[in-house]
């Protein structure tokens, strides 16, 4: 990205966003220039978190170094996509754990996501960098 802030359209009330969602939005848009929409919540289905010009992305964050919890979060994202009939699955993984070897976390996240059939991952590091992986 060129350093210019991206545009975020909020269809979901900002106050209803969780801390990790607000932080990921800030990093993606302000620091890396991504533009996207935060869809409103529907009560009859599970919402996908972000819409990048028609391409849906689910955000998952984990504070723990527990690999089981990491696998569970990726499985939750997979289930959301399946319940919405979406086969083109993309994941934004926000690493909130700064005390664990991030290389190991990336390896595990990519392995779990590939297992589930995700095609692309944006990994937000604990240093607020965004790494893109195509699976």
Count of other CB atoms within 10 angstroms of residue 76 = 12
Find residue 10's DSSP bridge partners. Answer: 38
Residue-level pLDDT at 45:
60
**Does some domain include residue 36?**
no
Q: Report yes or no on 117 lying in a domain.
A: yes
Instruction: Tell me if 16 is assigned to some domain.
Output: no
Residue 43 has pLDDT above 70, yes or no: no
130 occurs within a structural domain: yes
- What domain range includes position 110? 45-134
DSSP per residue, 56-77: EEEEEEE-S--HHHHHHHHHHH
pLDDT digits (tens, 9 = 90+) for 44-80: 567 899 999 999 999 998 877 788 889 999 999 999 9
The answer to whether residue 91 is domain-embedded is yes
Total tally of structural domains belonging to the chain: 1
Q: Is the pLDDT of residue 42 over 80?
A: no
CATH number of the domain at 125, please.
3.40.1350.120
In a domain, 100, yes or no: yes
**Average confidence (pLDDT) over 107-125:** 96
């Amino acid at each position: 990205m060129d350093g210019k802030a991206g545009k975020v359209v909020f269809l979901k009330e900002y106050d209803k966003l969780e801390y990790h969602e607000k932080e990921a939005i800030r990093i993606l848009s302000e620091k890396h220039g991504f533009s996207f929409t935060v869809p409103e919540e529907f009560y009859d289905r599970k919402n996908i978190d972000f819409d990048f010009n028609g391409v849906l992305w689910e955000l998952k964050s984990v504070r723990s170094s527990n690999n089981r919890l990491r696998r569970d979060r990726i499985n939750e994202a997979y289930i959301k996509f399946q319940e919405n009939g979406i086969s083109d699955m993309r994941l934004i993984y926000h690493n909130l754990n700064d005390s664990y070897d991030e290389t190991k976390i990336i390896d595990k996240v990519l392995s779990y996501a590939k297992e589930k059939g995700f095609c692309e991952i944006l990994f937000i590091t604990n240093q607020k960098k965004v790494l893109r992986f195509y699976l």
